């Protein structure tokens, strides 16, 4: 099993360097968005967890003086603002594209995704011998996007409520503050579990998928994981050769 | 009189004598049964029993030398045979050695040191107390043993229990009067309630420390928990014994326990019990004058959160477990995550595990001839 080989000018006498055909997957702006979300999210997690689990010795080492606690909180708040700005940009761009009627609907969940998930489950349980054919984004990637979309929404809203509780209780009932605190603290762990287990497996263990950083995805991955998209883009059959 | 008669009389005499002796032994208190001879006491009181016996100290201050027999009789010492010379060791005969003290206070501050002979542990503790520090700083009125316990009339300090507050009241009148209006003090004054704290329960007995330090502050929740986390005791008064454990999980409580564990000497403003409930003026939550009565709660919160609005008090879950009635938002968030968290965790793990298994099997199959 191998990708389609193509001769290139780099083919040297007696030796052929195979360069895989790649397909554009993410724009520069999207890759920047991911990088900002990744870094600020990681900073938020690393500065948030020690505050949640304060009794652990590693948290105690990190939060060794009252000044350190203050510093960690300030870093957490700065990262929160960065991520919030990124979220505002992301939502703003969605709205802009929707108004311009140029929003690609590739990420919206469809019934096909439910069918794909069922199909995939049958494959994983050895009830089918082949994987389902996916489009531009498979259901795993859509789950990732929407899980993080709502997770960040919960984290952001609850986070700002517990950052400025007095402001928010000017017009919201007081009960939202302890509820936001619990949601913030719990959703953080849920999101961390999800990203570590689900997302990291899919992009680093199952295969090394760096398209979110390089912007492009190789032909082999396109055919295996996004066969329908491959067919749509090339007009060729995506089936294994 | 026959011999037989004589023997019978002797028998009855002895029997009656034994009966009277046993009766007197059983009726008399053990102390006076073994009442030692009050030799020096009697001797000293032959002069000091005179109410007019006085002298003038070099400062011009008059000093009464009268010792009341009644006071001695009721003191814990005299009844145990601990007499004048046990404390007044420098006096062995008459005439007495000359007193070299300028004032009566100076004399008291010198004489009380004799307490250490027998009560060394409590004496040492008192030397580490805030009172001793005040004396060291120059306040000679700072209390010494005899100011609280008395000198010739030392009696059990807690009989009745309210006597303790009376003793402290000699100097701390305003605070004790406030305390007596509080839920604790009122119960003490009303019926000598054995459960409510008196001054010494919170402040300590001999090693009383400054309650205004950060160390005292961060240790305060545990101090209150001494009673308020005691289920049996709280049940008696229809109070929750979970207030402390719930506080410890609260925003304030987590902060305070971290400071207590790591930086007890650094002042921290996160609320401890007394910030909201009051100190000597703690009242029942139902009391309209209570700082934590729902009508006064916002004002109490505003001590630290001055810009808080009326909705703010609901942000405080109180010392209550999560419930649908009191904290519906919190209730639903908790309910959601109780199922959502394990659902996400297991879905991710199972799905990824299935993928790993399937991928491994496929790889092995491909490599088979």
Does the structure show a pLDDT above 80 at A224?
yes
Angle between helices A28-52 and A139-163 (to 10 degrees): 50
Q: CB A174 to CB B358 under 8 A?
A: no
Which chain B residue lies closest to A162 (C-alpha atoms)?
Answer: B315
Helix boundaries (H) for chain B:
3-27, 30-33, 39-48, 69-74, 84-87, 104-111, 120-127, 130-136, 145-149, 163-169, 173-181, 183-191, 199-203, 214-228, 231-236, 243-249, 251-262, 273-277, 297-302, 328-367
pLDDT, mean over chain B: 87
For residues B47-58, average pLDDT: 88
| φ/ψ bin of B89: left (φ > 0), alpha (ψ from -120 to 50), beta (otherwise) | alpha
Half-sphere exposure of B357 (CA within 13 A, CB side): 11
| Confidence grade of residue B2 (pLDDT, cut at 50, 70, 90) | low
Q: What is the pLDDT averaged over residues A225-233?
A: 87
> B254 to chain A: which residues are within 8 Å by CB?
54
Q: State the pLDDT at residue A104.
A: 87
In this predicted structure, what is the pLDDT of residue B25? 55
A 145-174 → B contacts, CB under 8 A = 165-166, 169-170, 172-174
User: What is the rounded distance in angstroms from the CA atom of residue A194 to the CA atom of residue B344?
Assistant: 7
pLDDT bin (cut points 50, 70, 90) of residue A125 is very high
pLDDT of residue A2: 42
- Do residues B144 and B150 make contact, with C-beta atoms less than 8 angstroms apart? no
Structure tokens that stand for A32 in this block = 């920047």
Token pair of B264, please? 């007890």
Check residue B37 and give left, alpha or beta (phi > 0: left; psi -120 to 50: alpha).
Answer: beta
Confidence tier at B99 by pLDDT (50, 70, 90): confident
Mind listing the pLDDT tens digit for each residue in A57-101? 888 888 888 899 999 999 999 999 999 999 999 999 999 999 999
Residue A79: partners with Cβ closer than 8 Å, 6 or more residues away: A40, A41, A43, A44, A47
Burial code (b: 16+ CB inside 10 Å, e: under 16) for A38-49 equals: eebbebbbebbb
Lowest-confidence pick of A111-120, A123-132, B86-95: B86-95
How far, rounded to the nearest angstrom, does the alpha carbon of residue B240 sit from its chain's CA centroid? 22
Options 1.20.950.20, 3.30.1370.100, 1.10.760.10, 3.10.300.10; CATH for A22-234 is 1.20.950.20
pTM for the predicted model, two decimal places: 0.79
Instruction: Spell out the residues 6+ positions from residue B245 whose beta carbon is closer than 8 angstroms to its own.
Output: B229
State pLDDT tens for residues A9-66: 444 555 667 788 888 889 999 999 999 999 999 999 999 999 998 888 888 888 888 8
Percent of chain B surpassing pLDDT 70: 92
Burial group, residue B114, by CB count within 10 angstroms (0-12, 13-18, 19+): middle
What is the distance between the alpha carbons of residues A187 and B203, in angstroms, rounded to a whole number? 44
pLDDT at B229: 95
Given a cut of 70, whether residue B20 has pLDDT beyond it is no
**A233 pLDDT more than 70:** yes
pLDDT digits (tens, 9 = 90+) for B331-353: 999 999 999 999 999 999 999 99
Q: At what angle do helices A139-163 and A111-124 cross, to 10 degrees?
A: 110
Confidence of residue A1 (pLDDT cuts 50, 70, 90): very low
Cβ–Cβ under 8 Å, residues A201 and B353 = no
pLDDT at B131: 93
Break chain A into its structural domains and give their ranges: 22-234
Residues B291-300: pLDDT tens digits?
Answer: 999 999 999 9
| pLDDT exceeds 50 at position B103 | yes
Q: What is the helix (H) or strand (E) element at residue B62, kind and residue range?
A: strand B62-64
Residue B343, CB-side half-sphere exposure with 13 Å CA sphere: 7
Identify the DSSP state of A228. H
Share of chain A above pLDDT 90, in %: 60
What digits encode the pLDDT tens for the residues B160-199?
888 999 999 999 999 999 999 999 999 999 988 889 999 9
Residue B1 has pLDDT above 80, yes or no: no
Q: Do A179 and B332 touch (CB under 8 A)?
A: yes
DSSP A11: P
By Cβ distance, the residue of A65, A175, A206 closest to B330 is: A175
How big is the A-B interface in CB pairs under 8 Å? 99
Question: 3-state SS string over B229-248?
Answer: CCHHHHHHCCCCCCHHHHHH
Judged by CB atoms closer than 8 Å, whether chains meet at A193 and B307 is answered as no
Nearest to A197 among B268, B315, B352 (CB): B352
For chain B, say whether A200 makes contact (Cβ under 8 Å).
no
In this complex, the residue of A54, A65, A175 whose CB is nearest that of residue B328 is A175
Interchain contact, A206 vs B359, CB within 8 Å: yes
B328 touches A at CB < 8 Å: yes
- Interchain CB distance below 8 Å, B314 and A54: no
pLDDT in the model for residue B31: 45
**Residue B320 C-alpha, separation from nearest chain A C-alpha, in angstroms:** 12
Q: What is the pLDDT of residue A7?
A: 47
Q: Which band of pLDDT confidence, cut at 50, 70 and 90, is reported for residue A234?
A: confident
**What b/e sequence results for A114-126 when a residue is b if at least 16 CB atoms lie within 10 Å of its CB, and e otherwise?**
eebbebbeebbee
- Tell me what pLDDT residue B168 has: 93
Structure-token pair, residue A223? 């055919």
Give B32's pLDDT tier (boundaries 50, 70, 90): very low
């Amino acid at each position: 099993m191998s990708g389609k080989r193509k001769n290139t000018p780099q083919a040297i006498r007696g030796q052929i360097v195979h360069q895989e055909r790649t397909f554009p997957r993410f724009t520069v702006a999207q890759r920047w968005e991911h990088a900002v979300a990744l870094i600020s999210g990681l900073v938020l997690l690393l500065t948030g967890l020690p505050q949640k689990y304060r009794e652990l010795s590693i948290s105690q080492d990190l939060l060794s003086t009252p000044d350190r606690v203050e510093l960690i909180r300030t870093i957490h708040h700065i990262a929160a603002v960065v991520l919030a700005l990124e979220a505002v940009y992301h939502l703003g761009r969605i709205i802009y594209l929707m108004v311009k009627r140029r929003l690609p609907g590739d990420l919206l969940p469809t019934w096909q995704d439910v069918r794909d998930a069922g199909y995939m489950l049958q494959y994983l349980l050895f009830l089918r011998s082949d994987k389902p054919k996916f489009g531009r984004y498979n259901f795993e990637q859509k789950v990732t996007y929407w899980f993080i979309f709502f997770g960040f929404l919960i984290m952001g809203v609850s986070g700002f409520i517990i950052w400025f509780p007095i402001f928010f209780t000017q017009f919201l009932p007081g009960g939202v503050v302890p509820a936001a605190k619990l949601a913030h603290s719990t959703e953080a762990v849920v999101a961390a579990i999800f990203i570590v287990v689900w997302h990291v497996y899919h992009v680093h263990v199952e295969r090394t998928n760096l398209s979110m950083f390089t912007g492009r995805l190789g032909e082999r991955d396109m055919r295996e994981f996004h066969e329908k998209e491959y067919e749509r883009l090339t007009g060729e059959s995506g089936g294994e050769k | 009189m026959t011999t037989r008669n004589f023997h019978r009389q002797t028998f009855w005499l002895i029997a009656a004598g034994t009966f009277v002796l046993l009766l007197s032994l059983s009726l008399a208190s053990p102390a006076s049964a073994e009442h030692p001879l009050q030799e020096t006491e009697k001797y000293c009181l032959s002069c000091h029993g005179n109410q007019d016996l006085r002298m003038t100290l070099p400062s011009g201050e008059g000093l009464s030398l009268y010792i009341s027999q009644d006071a001695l009789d009721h003191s814990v010492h005299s009844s145990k045979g601990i007499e004048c010379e046990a404390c007044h060791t420098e006096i062995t005969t008459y005439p007495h050695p000359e007193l070299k003290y300028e004032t009566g206070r100076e004399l008291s501050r010198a004489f009380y040191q004799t307490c250490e002979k027998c009560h060394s542990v409590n004496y040492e503790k008192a030397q580490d107390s805030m009172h001793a520090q005040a004396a060291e700083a120059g306040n000679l009125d700072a209390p010494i043993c005899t100011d609280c316990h008395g000198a010739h009339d030392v009696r059990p300090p807690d009989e009745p229990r309210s006597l303790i507050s009376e003793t402290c009241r000699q100097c701390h009148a305003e605070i004790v009067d406030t305390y007596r209006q509080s839920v604790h003090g009122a119960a003490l004054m009303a019926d000598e309630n054995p459960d409510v704290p008196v001054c010494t329960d919170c402040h300590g007995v001999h090693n009383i420390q400054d309650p205004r330090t950060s160390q005292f502050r961060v240790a305060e929740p545990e101090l209150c928990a001494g009673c308020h986390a005691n289920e049996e005791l709280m049940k008696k008064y229809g109070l929750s014994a979970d207030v402390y454990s719930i506080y410890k999980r609260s925003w304030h409580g987590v902060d305070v326990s971290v400071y207590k564990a790591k930086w007890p000497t650094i002042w921290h403003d996160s609320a401890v019990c007394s910030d909201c409930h009051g100190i000597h003026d703690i009242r029942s939550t139902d009391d309209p004058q209570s700082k934590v009565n729902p009508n006064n709660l916002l004002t109490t919160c505003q001590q630290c959160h001055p810009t808080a609005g009326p909705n703010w008090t609901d942000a405080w879950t109180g010392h209550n477990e999560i419930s649908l009635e009191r904290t519906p938002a919190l209730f639903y968030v908790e309910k959601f995550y109780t199922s959502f968290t394990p659902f996400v965790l297991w879905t991710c793990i199972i799905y990824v595990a299935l993928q790993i298994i399937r991928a491994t099997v496929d790889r092995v199959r491909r490599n088979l001839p």
